[in-house]
Structure formats: C-alpha cells, structure tokens
Chain A
C-alpha cells in the first residue's frame, strides 16, 4: 500500500532561519507529489507540486521542493522563514496505477516560527 512519511512532527525556528521538511513515500511507480500548507483555522492550500520534468520545483511564498526519485523523497525547503509561515505542512502523493486518483497525505509537520 502507498504511504507517505513526514519525519519532523514539530519544528520550531527563529525568523530568518532556513527550513527543510522531510517527506518520503513508498510506491514504486509513477507518482505526482504535492506540498500543502494549512494556516491555523484554515483549509489546505497548495504550496507546490511535481508531476514531471525538472525535479526542483518552486512554489508560492518562496518555497521549493526537490524530487529525488532514488530516495523516494520530496523535501520542502525555504531559505529564510517568516513568522507568517507558522502553519501545518502536509506532503501528499497521488499514485494512480489503475487510473484512480488517490491522494495520500503524510501526518503533517507543525512549524512554529518565533518572531
């Protein structure tokens, strides 16, 4: 069965620190990869996605992620975080071996940025 692991459950950083959140998935076939952000009390919003092509993808608000196929990883990065980045971050995988789109989410990483 497909699964997504996010190793960091809680991360606390000071403003201007660099961020890297890990995401690994288990599925041997073609996958589409996503990072979503959920600000307190809000719904999930797309940060970035990878379908094919350049494995380094850039998203909104200065976030980027790198797909490393050999490591089954899709880590999220931001060079300098801001207080407003405080949120829950979810990695998701969409594997569709039979044509059915099933989006599997990781358990989330809670990021707190200290002003």
Chain B
C-alpha cells in the first residue's frame, strides 16, 4: 500500500501547454510538500501545506499553482510550460514529532516532466 503516491509518473508535453500532477498520502500526515529535482539532482523546495494552509512558498514562478483540497492531497498545476520546467517533481509528506509523528519526509516516486 503506497504511502505517498503521485500521478502521472511521466509527462511529455509541448511548450505552452498546461499540466497537473496529483499527490495523495495515506499516512495521516498534516504537512505536504512539492520539491523539484533538476537534471543535476539538486532538490529544491517549492511549496508546503500544513492542514490545507500554504506555509512555504519559495521563489517559484506564478505559473505554478498548488492546491490542497484536504490534508491528504496536494496537487500541482503548471501553466504555460517552458523548457526549463523539465525536471522530476517529488511530492512528500511529514508529521512533526511534536504532533505524534516521526519528523522525517516521506517521498512519492516522482513525476518526470519533459517539456519539448
């Protein structure tokens, strides 16, 4: 039973298109994240939601819009895709030790986005 699941795993699309990636976690965690991993494997945080509330919003273009309909789901919508958006996008979740969790991040398997 997958703890953090992302769909789709692969996305190939043309520049200018709009695409969405969905993420769901069944761990009961209260915080979810989106990370971007570039071709050099560098992991950069994009967004974080705690109980559906946006708490971290790094320097990310406005074309990226996260949405958290409930604390188990965090989706990422990208408008007007550009070549530089090609990357692997990882969803993750956590529950702080102060609230009964173990404090580490649990990652999904990633969604590889290729923009042509």
**Chain A residues close to B by CB (< 8 Å):** 32, 34, 36, 38, 42-46, 49, 51, 88, 90, 92, 94, 96, 100-105, 107-108, 110
Contact = CB atoms under 8 A, between A and B. Distances in A.
A42 B108 CA distance: 9
B104 A101 contact: no
A103 B41 contact: no
Interface string B44-72: 11001010000110000000000000000
Interface of B: 31, 33, 35, 40-45, 48, 50, 55-56, 90, 94, 96-97, 103-105, 107-110
A94 B103 contact: yes
A109 to B, nearest CB: 10
Contacts, number: 55
Interface majority SS on B: helix, strand, loop or mixed?
strand
A105 B41 CA distance: 11
Given A51-B103, A100-B55, A107 B42 contact: yes
A88 B43 CA distance: 12
Contacts of B96: 96, 101
A100 B33 CA distance: 12
A43 B90 CA distance: 8
